[in-house]
Structure 1
Amino acid sequence: MTDVTDLAPDRLELGEGSRWVADRVVLVDIPAGRLLSAPAPTGKSQPLTELAKLPVPLAAVAPIAGQPGAWLAAAGTGFAVIDERTGEASWLAAPQPVTDRPWRMNDAVADRAGRFWAGSMACDQSPRGGALYRLDPDGSVHTVLRDLTIANGPAFSLDGRVMYLSDTPLGHVDRFDVDRATGELSNRRPFARIDPEHGSPDGLTVDAEDHVWMALFGGAAIRRYRPDGTLDRVVPVPARQPTSVCLVGEHVVVTSSQEGLTDPGPHDGAVLVLHEGTTGVEALPARVD
């Protein structure tokens, strides 16, 4: 196994949404509603800093262009701006539900135009209870895809022309063409299909070589794929349920979950750091006009 260290001594219930922003890593603990940060990896484990705690599940954030310390969040059943200086959230918009069951927002990311793409899921993970939404800089909310189960890991190619999206319980990762001017999606086709015995595709990210990294929830591993969908490498990790991958310079940061485990091990719920000789890119900012 690749040498693995802890970014922090903390153990989270459901760590997710890790992002490289300037000189730090920002992430969330979804059910606890916590926005957390740590210095970029240095080889020394330091406790996570809590930037905010919401009364609803906090699924993912993106930095907001031109507003240092402000984060656009997919949280609860809507979108909010979090001010890390006060820890307070200002609610912006709520998308149209696609299920009559209790539901929540899930993984989210900004694209090069500042649009904020967020998945959703039914809280009981019922089939077709999730969607993919897009919050545009003008505040309008669009339901982009329906009939998903757990929409996870939106990620974009370096040129912004391709979006990758996983539907975790189905083991599917699809790719779409993106109209960079409008955000419209087209030409959906398979990118990767994961055998359940290897885990389920969770968070995704794209590195500086335009390769796609994937966390395999339940598979105790992360994977790197070439842009054509062929598998480049498999990297085991000591956490059974890795949830997101964040490339910070040449470091790979992996969040994990201990949710649902009756016997969590020493690394379950950890934020891990690996050294894979791969260069990452910083998280793109969202725009709020």
Structure 2
Amino acid sequence: MTSTAVPAAVLVDGGYELAEGGRWFDDRYVYVDILSGRLFELRDGTGPTTPRQLAALDVPLGAVAPVADTPGAWIAAAGTGIALLTADGALEWLDRPEDRTPVPSRMNDGVADPAGRFWAGSMAYDGTPGAGSLYRTDADGTVVRVLDGLTIVNGPAFTADGTTMYVADTAVGTIFRFQVDPASGDLVGAPEIFARLRDGEGSPDGMTVDQEGCLWVAMWGAGAVRRYHPDGHLLHTLTVPAPHPTSVCLHPGDNRLYVTTARYGVTNPTAASGAVLSVPVPVVGTAACSWRVGH
């Protein structure tokens, strides 16, 4: 395992309370500020630039994926459930399952898989152990609870063929690996513990898989990003100039890693806390997937 402190360029200065959900869609980088319910895009990721705000909701916004063949429309993990977000900012709820939980909760991170389904996790506002769940939204808009008993659900991240899914339970410092049937979206077999973090190593947050099949993980509380081989061993650790990195995204055509960070919980934040960072890396990623209706 190697460790480096690579110079990280600040693309967007700190100011976000909880920037998250960074993804590359087509020719743009898209991310959210969860607690303020805002969605942003960056069209030019090569240097400091001004993000464009695409939406501002009156509920927290955990993550989005574009709706295939519907320009300007998104599927969103927002508030207490899953909604369609139109180009004019209107929300159409598909389901709000977290309204039916015993403690106040919200949706968190989410991503579309290569088969066109949208997966998103949840968490209790107070971090109640076991109150988090993982949901899958199918092509017909049905929202299915796939897993429960988790605490703070982050990711998921999928391999390019859609058969392997990584999910982090941030609160317990564990990354799980699941086998997925791409045809049905069902989980196959029992979950595998892919990595378990020790005290002082930080907590696994947002994740992505690179073109070599390796898993990149933002390490909340550790000011670092880790890269794991598919066999589970740690390949590399990158130090970033913010204690709470929250999500990672690899440019699909350029050797750049985008990292969102949080000001939340930082006593003396700098411009890099609550920022979007860019770090040169030796690998590339793949463009994120869309939610496909009726596939």
Deviations along 1:139-196, whole A, 9 cap, x unmatched? 1111110100001110111111111000001000010110111111133111011112
Give, in whole Å, the separation in 1 of the partners of 2:282 and 2:84: 35
Match of 2:267 among 231, 248, 262: 262
Aligned: 1:167 with 2:172:
no
Asked if structure 2 preserves the Cα contact closer than 8 Å seen for 1:11 and 1:271, the reply is no
- The 1-side partners of 2:139 and 2:99 are apart by 21
**Paired residue for 1:287?**
292
Paired residues for 1:91-130 under 5 Å: 91-95=93-97, 99-130=101-132
Shift of 1:136: 0.4
* Distance in 1, Cα, partners of 2:100 & 2:223: 32
- 1:142-181 mapped onto 2 (5 Å cutoff): 142-181=144-183
Deviation string, structure 1 residues 237-272 (Cα, Å, up to 9, x no partner) = 001100000001321000000112232123111100
Aligned mates of 2:92, 2:111 — CA distance in 1:
19
Which sections of structure 2, spanning at least 5 residues, go unmatched? Answer: none
Which residue does the alignment assign to 2:198?
Answer: 195
Residue in structure 2 matched with residue 19 of structure 1 by the alignment: 23
The one-character-per-residue Cα deviations of 1:44-67 (angstroms, maximum 9, x if unpaired) are 211211100000000000111111
**CA RMSD, aligned part only?**
1.3
Matches of 1:87 and 1:216, distance apart in 2 = 32
TM-score (norm 1): 0.96
| 1:207 lines up with 2:210 in the alignment | yes
1:217: how far off? 0.3
2:3 is equivalent to residue 5 of structure 1: no
Aligned residue type for 2:242: A
> 2:249 maps to what in 1?
246
Pairwise CA distance, 1:135: 0.7
Q: What number of residue pairs does the alignment pair up?
A: 287
2:35 and 2:274 mapped to 1: Cα distance?
13
1:96–1:28: structure 2 CA closer, same or farther, 3 Å change rule? closer
Is the contact between residue 15 and residue 256 of structure 1 (CA under 8 Å) also seen in structure 2?
yes
1:96 Cα deviation after fit: 5.7
Single out whichever of 166-175 and 182-191 deviates more from structure 2.
182-191
Deviation digits for residues 77-134 of structure 1 (CA, Å, limit 9, x no counterpart): 11111223x2222222222667311000010011111111110000101100100011
Q: Which runs of at least 4 in structure 1 moved beyond 4 Å after TM superposition?
A: none
Structure 2 partner of 1:49: 52
SS of match in other structure, 2:97 = coil
Given the two structures, how large is their TM-score scaled by the length of structure 2? Answer: 0.94
- Pair 1:218-2:214 in alignment: no
8 Å CA contact retained: 2:221, 2:243:
yes
Compared CA separation, residues 70 and 10, structure 1 to 2 (3 A): farther
Q: By how many angstroms is 1:40 displaced?
A: 4.1
Looking at structure 2, the residues matched to 200 and 98 of structure 1 have their Cα atoms a distance apart, in angstroms, of: 28
Structure 1: stretches of 5+ with no match in the other structure: none
Counterpart for residue 77 of structure 1: 80
